Structure 1
Amino acid sequence: MSKYESYFLMGVEDAAEYVKEKLPSFQKGAVLSCQEIGDGNLNYVFRVKDARTGTSIIVKQAGEETRISREMKLSTDRGRIESRILRLQAQSAPGMVPAVYLYDSVMCAMLMEDMDGHTMMRTGLMNHEIYPLFGEQITDFLVNSLLNSTDVVMDHKAKKERVREFINPDLCEISENLVYSEPYVDYNHRNNVFLPNAEFIEKEIYEDKELRLEAAKLKFDFMNHAQALIHGDLHTGSIFINQEHLFVFDPEFAFYGPMGYDVGNIIANLFFAWCNGDAVIDNEGEREKFCGWVLQTIEEIVDKFILKFKKAFMERAADLMAKTEGFLDYYLESVLSDTAAAAGLESIRRIVGMANVKDITVIADERKRVRAERIILTLAKDYVKNRTSFKCGKDYLESIERAVSQYR
């Protein structure tokens, strides 16, 4: 009898044995080593490698509680959702997500392709690496993975079945709390605020009634707008990248929601990288090169997303009414508004909420960190309050310049 016939949380030795049992190709003569490599808040991730052949594989197991708070209990069904969406995204965006070899509903574990030769993008950006192809690649992924899952393209009954398949209440609740509620009202008393900015945050975030109202509106849009099958947590820690290629992974927050949520998260996290580079790169030329590339890439992502989305919409729209003159512009306008809103919400929650972002927390100079956080929050408020005015990449650069200019 296999010890993997009932659920338990695996350790390093268990994960190596698990691979041997589940994948026969690893059995004969395999000399396996295993290390845990996960640095996220929710799951346990192991790399199992055959020293004889150099072949490696990833084991990802869902735990029953988060790694940052034992009070936050989670359904392990998120592993099924993740494995399923990765397979769907592989169809829409071939080669841009890791291959899934097996999902085990008993152990709530997935065996998947090792993204060897790639670096987590957040790590690369904090080392001030430049990725010239990123704007082109990520917009391909966004347009293809999002639009193909909508009523515009899919049979409506099939889409409704998929909405039901991807109901993800536990992970959605985390977003509803950590992104849309707690940064504005710290009712769970777990926001993690940088003390030198506490007074600023009190005034600019907690006491801003207009901002809170807009966040409330956006929260209910997020909960009720089943537009597309979104990744749900698409930041630079959810991308592995090198100079030629990228993988998007870790879509366990996936559900049917507003597609601008994914696009906006990318924009916000790129600007965190700008703030890090601006604060910690001493050489002026290197700083200008890196930060200039980040801004150029934000503009590129917005503009290329618009162009590619329009082209794909015209080619793939299957619903008769979606082909009505003017509907594409109406539809895209709402996506762009949601994109700006999501960029603002992600920016605020990473500064004010419980899950701060490393790009900012590693800034050792207190004065520079204070400045970076204030720029981010000022920019975020513009994104949220004026979201309908962000219609192209230039609009983002102008908003960034306005925010930065206040703290020179």
Structure 2
Amino acid sequence: MTDFNSYFLMNADEVVQYVKAKMNYFTENADLTCAEIGDGNLNYVFRVVDEKSGKSLIVKQAGDTARISDEFKLSTNRIRIESNVLKLEGELAQGLVPDVYLYDDVMNCCVMEDLSDHTILRTALNEGRIFPKLADDLTTFMVNTLLLTSDVVMEHKAKKALVQDYINPELCEISEDLVYSEPFTDHNNRNDLFPANKEWIEENIYGDARLRFEAAKLKFAFMTNAQALVHGDLHSGSVFVKEDSTKVIDPEFAFYGPMGYDVGNVIANLMFAWSRAYVTDADEKYVSWLESTIVETVDLFKVKFLASWKENVTEIMAKEQGFDQWYLDSVLQDTASVTGMELIRRIAGLAKVKDLTTIADEQQRVQAERTCLSAAKEFILNAQGFRTGEQFLQGLKNSASSHNMR
């Protein structure tokens, strides 16, 4: 049996040996089985189960290249960042992230709570399922993890120490390329366009100089605005749900960046779900819930943000009258811009979303993609005009109406 004192990528059998050697989570006579369950772009995820008791846990290990492509060479330090961020988020937003049991800096892995009784949010949305607590839980998570790690709350030296601790250059570079550069230029020839929309995207995205100019400005804001500790990849594949529970996972992209990056990612991914539902004539009750969730995600975030500001702000100048609303308005403007960037990059870039790629009918998929892309341009080019949830939703609906092929 290996002693796990030097790094290597584990297979399922070795993960069982690892858990027995490193954990006291299972009994000595446990009958452990293990299967790899991860389908993400970067890491290896295993579920270990005691077949006698049903007790289980998750082992997540980082490799030195991305699974999506060997072109992305990565530091395994990201698993340290993920483990530490999950612990911090667990303190700031209790009950909204999985518990971390162990971080191993030799094997570059993290052992954590098994959420197999939950479903990945994207999968659940594609199935038309409704989660009444979703907007409330996600806005609590975002306000608590973003505002409470910012300069308006934290002692400034302590905040700067966290900025240094969470410098995440390799994964930030992935976002800089896949979100802020390639969907507008395809300079690395990695973009994967739906053939029926290829010409339209080349004309309306690649060919829009004003849009590319705004994207350039947003890229440098993403690179330089160390506002708060953002999750960095808060899409519907990074959220586990069941009817009475929401858990945010996978903060390996975490770094100090603009708050609106997280909020915009959440809204954009709800919009992917809405666009799919719209073109496929999904159940009206589900569509109505999606619409209210988009609206509430913006509006509850605003209400909770200002309430938390009053309760937690420590920076003396942040207490000046009107500063809280000015600050929030800047976050909402960033949110609108990021909503647009995420909508574009998942269609005109390398990394897709199943919300759209699994639409079987070509005309429906064309319509859904153009709905998202046209709305995205509005969010980016007129970001200052989106301050309420209803304005965000109406921007999406207006785009859907203009591309109605039914």
TM-score normalized by the length of structure 2: 0.98
Residue 26 of structure 1, CA deviation: 2.1
Q: Equivalent residues in 2 for 1:391-406 (5 A)?
A: 391-406=387-402
Aligned to 1:334: 330
Residue 378 of structure 1, CA deviation: 0.2
Aligned to 1:374: 370
Bigger CA drift: 1-10 or 326-335?
A: 1-10
Q: What whole-Å deviation, never above 9, does each CA across 1:170-198 have from its counterpart, x for those lacking one?
A: 00000000000000011100001001101
Residue 3 of structure 1, CA deviation: 3.5
Q: What whole-Å deviation, never above 9, does each CA across 1:201-230 have from its counterpart, x for those lacking one?
A: 011000100000000000000000000000
1:386 maps onto 2:382 in alignment: yes
SS of the aligned residue for 2:185 comes to coil
For residues 11 and 393 of structure 1, what CA distance do their matches in structure 2 show? 46
1:57 maps onto 2:21 in alignment: no
SS of the aligned residue for 1:404 comes to helix
Aligned to 1:322: 318
Aligned residues: 404
1:293 maps onto 2:289 in alignment: yes
Q: Equivalent residues in 2 for 1:336-375 (5 A)?
A: 336-375=332-371
Equivalent position amino acid for 1:140 in 2 = T
Structure 1 residue runs without a partner (length 5+): none
For residues 275 and 291 of structure 1, what CA distance do their matches in structure 2 show? 10
1:266 maps onto 2:266 in alignment: yes
Q: Equivalent residues in 2 for 1:170-189 (5 A)?
A: 170-189=170-189
SS of the aligned residue for 2:283 comes to helix
Aligned to 1:30: 30
For residues 398 and 353 of structure 1, what CA distance do their matches in structure 2 show? 25
For residues 133 and 397 of structure 2, what CA distance do their matches in structure 1 show? 24
Equivalent position amino acid for 2:300 in 1 = K
Equivalent position amino acid for 2:316 in 1 = L
1:241 maps onto 2:241 in alignment: yes
Residue 290 of structure 1, CA deviation: 1.4
For residues 42 and 376 of structure 2, what CA distance do their matches in structure 1 show? 26
Residue 318 of structure 1, CA deviation: 0.3
Equivalent position amino acid for 1:145 in 2 = T
Aligned to 2:70: 70
Aligned to 2:3: 3
Equivalent position amino acid for 1:250 in 2 = D
SS of the aligned residue for 1:111 comes to strand
1:229 maps onto 2:229 in alignment: yes
For residues 9 and 276 of structure 1, what CA distance do their matches in structure 2 show? 38
Residue 27 of structure 1, CA deviation: 4.9
Equivalent position amino acid for 1:371 in 2 = Q
Q: Equivalent residues in 2 for 1:141-156 (5 A)?
A: 141-156=141-156
Residues 21 and 27, structure 1, Cα contact 8 Å, conserved in 2: no
Equivalent position amino acid for 2:297 in 1 = I
Aligned to 2:199: 199
Aligned to 2:44: 44
SS of the aligned residue for 1:154 comes to coil
For residues 25 and 333 of structure 1, what CA distance do their matches in structure 2 show? 47
SS of the aligned residue for 2:183 comes to coil
SS of the aligned residue for 1:5 comes to coil
For residues 274 and 111 of structure 1, what CA distance do their matches in structure 2 show? 35
Residue 307 of structure 1, CA deviation: 0.5
For residues 24 and 230 of structure 1, what CA distance do their matches in structure 2 show? 33
For residues 88 and 25 of structure 1, what CA distance do their matches in structure 2 show? 22
Residues 133 and 244, structure 1, Cα contact 8 Å, conserved in 2: yes
Residue 326 of structure 1, CA deviation: 1.4
SS of the aligned residue for 1:24 comes to coil
Residue 388 of structure 1, CA deviation: 1.0
4+ residue runs over 6 A deviation:
none
Aligned to 1:310: 306
Residue 287 of structure 1, CA deviation: 2.4
Residue 25 of structure 1, CA deviation: 3.2
For residues 401 and 52 of structure 2, what CA distance do their matches in structure 1 show? 57
Residue 301 of structure 1, CA deviation: 0.7
- When the two chains are superposed, the root-mean-square deviation of aligned CA atoms in Å is 1.0
Equivalent position amino acid for 1:92 in 2 = L
Structure 2 residue runs without a partner (length 5+): none
Residues 66 and 73, structure 1, Cα contact 8 Å, conserved in 2: yes
Residues 278 and 287, structure 1, Cα contact 8 Å, conserved in 2: no
Identity of aligned residues (%): 53
Aligned to 1:167: 167
Equivalent position amino acid for 1:204 in 2 = N
Q: What whole-Å deviation, never above 9, does each CA across 1:82-115 have from its counterpart, x for those lacking one?
A: 0000000001001110011110001100000001
Bigger CA drift: 375-384 or 12-21?
A: 12-21
Bigger CA drift: 162-171 or 7-16?
A: 7-16
Aligned to 1:257: 257
Bigger CA drift: 17-26 or 227-236?
A: 17-26
